[in-house]
Chain A
Amino acid sequence: KQEVTQIPAALSVPEGENLVLNCSFTDSAIYNLQWFRQDPGKGLTSLLLIQSSQREQTSGRLNASLDKSSGRSTLYIAASQPGDSATYLCAVGAQKLVFGQGTRLTINP
């Protein structure tokens, strides 16, 4: 059974810092990995999708990497802003997604 873990559960950093969020999964035979953002009380917004044949994806200040052999993915956020404050979730799977518990990120002005 696939299990997804995100560390840390919460992170608070000052504005402007570069930061890394971590995601690990137990079964390396994944198909896709997605990173989502969730604002309090809202739904999920897809940020990046990495297909199993890819190693990374970039969108603006966000860069996600995938290392299937080690069962890890990282989400790198450059030059963090207060508007980046949210919970970030990673999920693995082809169609059915298995989610981690999320990292609650706070960017302090």
Chain B
Amino acid sequence: EAEVAQSPRYKITEKSQAVAFWCDPISGHATLYWYRQILGQGPELLVQFQDESVVDDSQLPKDRFSAERLKGVDSTLKIQPAELGDSAMYLCASSRGHKDSTKAFFGQGTRLTVV
């Protein structure tokens, strides 16, 4: 069964360092999402791509976060510089992107700890 792949699974980084996460969505899924989940809370959308275009990045802290999906397939989320408050689970999800079939499939996430 096709899955959303994320790497790394775990990342520990020092405050002020740069960190990057990678996501490979399910083949054929036009829509890709990055969510952030703080421990004990529900995920919150950071950025949504339709193919290679950003559809929604209203909650992305653009002073330190950036995301790209250059060829409309895999995606990278970068944080520079990392802050202690960035410690969270970063989840990637994908969907076909059609209104009538918007079931989202999530990856296993990257657990980031900033020390």
Chain A complexes with chain B: yes
Which residues of A line the B interface, CB within 8 A?
Answer: 4, 31-32, 34, 36, 41-46, 49, 51, 89, 91, 93-102
Q: How many A-B residue pairs have CB under 8 A?
A: 62
Please report the C-alpha to C-alpha distance between residue A4 and residue B104 in the assembled complex, in whole angstroms.
18
- Whether the Cβ atoms of B95 and A43 lie closer than 8 Å is no
Stretch in B11-19, B38-46, B64-72, B78-86 with 4+ CB within 8 Å of A: B38-46
The answer, yes or no, to whether B102 is at the interface (CB within 8 Å) is yes
Chain B 5-44 interface residues, beta-carbon cutoff 8 Å to A: 6, 31, 33, 35, 40-44
The range of chain B's interface size is: 20 to 34
Task: Using CB atoms, name the residue of chain B closest to A9.
Answer: B40
- Whether the Cβ atoms of A43 and B106 lie closer than 8 Å is yes
Task: Using CB atoms, name the residue of chain A closest to B43.
Answer: A99
- Whether the Cβ atoms of B41 and A44 lie closer than 8 Å is no
Chain B nearest CB, measured from A102 CB (Å): 6
Please report the C-alpha to C-alpha distance between residue A80 and residue B100 in the assembled complex, in whole angstroms.
31
Please report the C-alpha to C-alpha distance between residue A98 and residue B109 in the assembled complex, in whole angstroms.
18
- Whether the Cβ atoms of B42 and A101 lie closer than 8 Å is yes
- Whether the Cβ atoms of B40 and A46 lie closer than 8 Å is no
Please report the C-alpha to C-alpha distance between residue A99 and residue B4 in the assembled complex, in whole angstroms.
19
**Per a CB cutoff under 8 Å, which of B6, B97, B105 touches A95?**
B97
- Whether the Cβ atoms of A96 and B45 lie closer than 8 Å is yes
**Per a CB cutoff under 8 Å, which of B6, B89, B104 touches A97?**
B104
